């Protein structure tokens, strides 16, 4: 398989700014997350990132205590992560 690809779940009823692909998705090394607009009654839902660059919480309306409380349009995964074996 091509191991230099990024998996992103684009939805056919959403609108996308090309900068999302050029500046965000293209640069995903393992897992990338970003804000999503107009989700579930919120203007914006987004990860809260700490000074260490890690996600500390989620700024979302729907079920904010979920471990991965993001919209499907809010993340991408580098394909290598799907084939990596955890020991």
Q: What is the pLDDT of residue 64?
A: 80
Instruction: Outline where DSSP puts E strands in the chain.
Output: 6-8, 31-33, 36-39, 42-49, 55-59, 75-78
Mean pLDDT by groups of 10 residues along the chain of 87 residues? 85 88 94 88 90 90 84 92 78
Is 13 flagged in the annotation as binding? yes
Residue-range domain boundaries for the chain: 6-83
Kindly tell me the sign of the dihedral angle through the C-alpha atoms of 39, 21, 13, 77. Answer: negative
Query: Whole-prediction pTM value?
Result: 0.80
Q: What is the pLDDT of residue 38?
A: 86
Q: What is the pLDDT of residue 27?
A: 94
């Amino acid at each position: 398989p091509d191991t230099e690809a990024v998996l992103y779940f684009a939805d056919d009823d959403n609108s996308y700014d090309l900068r999302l692909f050029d500046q965000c998705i293209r640069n995903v090394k393992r897992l990338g997350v970003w804000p999503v607009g107009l989700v579930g009654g919120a203007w914006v839902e987004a990860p809260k990132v700490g000074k260490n660059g890690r996600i500390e919480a989620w700024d979302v309306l729907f079920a904010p205590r979920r471990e991965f409380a993001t919209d499907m349009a809010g993340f991408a995964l580098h394909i290598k992560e799907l084939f990596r074996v955890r020991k």
